[in-house]
Structure 1
Amino acid sequence: MPAAGVPLRVVSYNIHSQRDDTAALAEVVRAAGPDVVIVQEGPRRFRWRQKCATLADSFGLVVAAGGLPSLGNLLLTSLRVRVTATRCQRYPLTPGRHLRGAAYAECLVGGTRFLLAGSHLSTDPAERPGQAAAFKRELAAATLPVVAGADLNEGPDGPAWRTVAEGLTDAAVAMDRADRHTYSCANPRRRIDALFVDPRVEVVDYDVVDTPRTRQASDHFPVLVDLLLPAGD
């Protein structure tokens, strides 16, 4: 990669449908100072547009994509990031199961274009592999460098995780911090939340933010990653 890359700070965060301390949640994200936030369990029901906008404002960000059309997956950006196209995806419904989906935004920052993506896979181990495959098809079809965050609801040894991770860089592994657990805040014992990036993207730093405030804000810890995107032409 060229030395003159474009820095991007990313947070991927399952916010537990804002059931916990929302003041702590806003404080945690603002303190991180992200350029983009990939949210799982964001607003997806009554008045979801207003709720998504209010959440974004509490973070000091704006809504890029997601909400109800992506079933609670939400992409938020700072004003530094320009969003040029968006789309949402819903995975095929298994009767009696929870609806799941993904959100995508083509973005431009510092002259570099990239695809921002987020998803939240099922808690059902029989359902996850198919959802992972649907998410992976979208990521694999991208021509832009990919930055993808997800709550996979399984660890790195699971088939759905392996499907999504194939050909991408696991930011935790790149920084030798794969031992950092992301769930649950009450009893950290699993790494089920991940950020994957295109091989063209350099991982500069990775952290699972474990503080008294993150333990109040959600049942998941936020994943905080600093990246260098390849410089634009």
Structure 2
Amino acid sequence: MTARVRVVSYNIHSFKDDLGALATVVADLAPDVLVVQEGARRFRWRQKNAALADRLRMVVGGGGLWSLGNLVLTTLRVRVLETRDVRYRVLPGHHARGAVFATCAVPGARFVVTGSHLSTDPAVRPTQAAAWRTEMRAYDLPVVAAGDLNAEPGDPTWAAVADGLQIAGTAPTHPASGPRRAIDGVFVDKRVEVTRFQVVDTPTARRASDHLPIAVDLVIPDK
């Protein structure tokens, strides 16, 4: 058995931009799973993330404070069976970073979605990327990894995440006002078929965040 699933990866810039535009972009994309970077991670984080999910007509699947702002939102088509939060080793003078993992089920398949937002420091990023990839290896189910890598393809960060996975595609996502850098990525298990990769560049998307979203359509096998 297989299942068709749409996953969107989106750095929402900590709610700083046009939330109405953000809601329009997400509604037009109609993802089954939305992997968010820069969700709420501090004061009243549960309420803020729940309000975001409600605005997007989705539900919170996992993440928030304990994953340091990484968040998984889903539609009611998706059942979240288990969640896990990971924090990378913190180095003095650097922001704490982490990842969220959500084991999901849809009719026909089960899979794991994970999201992360890596460091801006090129000396730290590859180590965080390797730690993220190591955590993924704990799962037997097909994995879909989405995140803001703060690095472009060709950087060791991408190679560390992609080790054993396939890159769904690449295209500039940042800055949204005039995208020049492909710093956001989606990586999928080699058992998964990628039928579409899209970076959404519209006037509405340019108002919604400082990143453009990535949407991927996937065919996921049942193991």
Establish whether TM, by shorter chain, passes 0.5: yes
Q: How does 1:104-119 map to 2 (within 5 A)?
A: 104-119=101-116
> Is the 2:2–2:108 contact (alpha carbons within 8 Å) kept by the matching residues of 1?
no
Quick one: distance in 2 between partners of 1:64 and 1:169?
A: 25
Could you tell me which residue of structure 2 aligns to residue 201 of structure 1?
192
Helix, strand or coil for the counterpart of 1:228? Answer: strand
Helix, strand or coil for the counterpart of 2:136? Answer: helix
Could you tell me which residue of structure 2 aligns to residue 213 of structure 1?
204
Question: What is the letter of the counterpart of residue 33 of structure 1?
Answer: A
Deviations 1:19-53 (A, max 9, x none): 01011011111111100000000011100001110
> Is the 2:11–2:37 contact (alpha carbons within 8 Å) kept by the matching residues of 1?
yes
Matched, 1:224 2:221: no
Q: Where does structure 2 lack aligned partners over 5 or more consecutive residues?
A: none
Deviations 1:137-159 (A, max 9, x none): 01122100001101000011111
Quick one: distance in 2 between partners of 1:79 and 1:18?
A: 24
Deviation at 1:99, TM superposition (A): 1.0
The structure 1 residue matched to 2:79, chosen from 68, 78, 82, is 82
Quick one: distance in 1 between partners of 2:176 and 2:192?
A: 29
Deviations 1:167-206 (A, max 9, x none): 111111xxxxx3x211111221110101111011100101
Moved over 2 A (4+): none
Could you tell me which residue of structure 1 aligns to residue 69 of structure 2?
72
The structure 1 residue matched to 2:34, chosen from 27, 32, 37, is 37
Matched, 1:186 2:180: no
Deviations 1:197-217 (A, max 9, x none): 101110010100000000000
Helix, strand or coil for the counterpart of 1:226? Answer: strand
Quick one: distance in 2 between partners of 1:168 and 1:110?
A: 24
Quick one: distance in 2 between partners of 1:110 and 1:130?
A: 36
Helix, strand or coil for the counterpart of 1:184? Answer: coil
Helix, strand or coil for the counterpart of 1:38? Answer: strand
Could you tell me which residue of structure 1 aligns to residue 49 of structure 2?
52
Quick one: distance in 1 between partners of 2:41 and 2:144?
A: 23
Task: Using structure 1 for the length normalisation, give the TM-score.
Answer: 0.93
Q: Where does structure 1 lack aligned partners over 5 or more consecutive residues?
A: 173-177
Task: Using structure 2 for the length normalisation, give the TM-score.
Answer: 0.98
Matched, 1:125 2:122: yes
Instruction: Say how many residue pairs are matched.
Output: 223
Alignment identity in percent?
A: 58
Question: What is the letter of the counterpart of residue 62 of structure 1?
Answer: V
Deviation at 1:5, TM superposition (A): 2.6
The structure 1 residue matched to 2:14, chosen from 4, 17, 21, is 17
Deviations 1:113-160 (A, max 9, x none): 101100000001111111111101011221000011010000111111
Quick one: distance in 2 between partners of 1:170 and 1:202?
A: 11
CA RMSD of aligned residues (A): 1.0
Quick one: distance in 1 between partners of 2:192 and 2:106?
A: 14
Question: What is the letter of the counterpart of residue 66 of structure 1?
Answer: G
Quick one: distance in 1 between partners of 2:179 and 2:72?
A: 25
